[in-house]
Amino acid sequence: MPDLLKKIVMKTGGRTPLMMEFPVNPELAPFLVTAAGKSKFIWIPSSKGRVRVGVRKQDQVERNDINLDIVREIALVGERSKWGNVHPFTTEGFEQAVEHLKYYGVVDIEVLTGEAGLPFIVDVPVETCTWLHTGCAVVVPKDRDCVGVFADVGKGFWARVHNPSRGVAVLGEP
């Protein structure tokens, strides 16, 4: 099953940290990171080169929903902030999404879609995801490292999305 983010596994000697800190390229702000508390995510508008991510406790239901939750959060903030990365679930919307990513230098793309697929034909690879609903798709770089990282760590996980405004285009309503 295709994921939204690059997946990694981190070894911690059996311990599960509450948070971790990582270097980032400040030009890729804003950052969307997991929170360790009741909030699922925290937006970090800018950075001087480091961000902290909260480690979520391993709850299988929440872990399975993380891709869709991230897409929903990116679409919500993208529309509110007028990033231009949310488009209709149509051929025209797809073309706008591709142009949005191309504008930022992302040309090697693919489309993630729900099990029903797309109601139109595209000339890029399409991957079916069980976590996306009918009537929604996400246009992303093939290299998920350009979008962010999801990590299993100890008995938990964390996620860091860099470049959500320029590296993820959403079609329809997630």
The larger pLDDT score, comparing residue 126 to residue 12, is at 126
Q: What per-residue confidence (pLDDT) applies to 61?
A: 60
Alpha-carbon distance values, 150 to 105, 145, 153, 163 (Å):
23, 10, 10, 14
The region that residue 117 occupies, defined by phi over 0 for left and psi between -120 and 50 for alpha, beta otherwise, is: left
Q: Coil, strand or helix: which one is 159?
A: strand
Each residue of 68-120: pLDDT tens digit?
A: 999 999 999 999 999 999 999 999 999 999 999 999 999 999 999 999 999 99
* Phi, psi (degrees; rounded to nearest 5) at 51: -135, 155
Each residue of 128-146: pLDDT tens digit?
A: 999 999 999 999 999 999 9
Q: What per-residue confidence (pLDDT) applies to 12?
A: 80
At 34, list the tokens. Answer: 């997991």
Taking residue 91's Cβ as centre, other Cβ atoms within 10 Å add up to 13
Look up the pTM and report it: 0.94
Question: Which residues have a Cβ under 8 Å from the Cβ of 60 and sit 6 or more positions away?
Answer: none
| CB-based contact 172:135 (threshold 8 Å) | yes
Amino acid in the structure at residue 89: F
pLDDT of 62 > 90? The answer is no
| Annotated domain spans of the chain | 6-168
pLDDT of 60 > 70? The answer is no
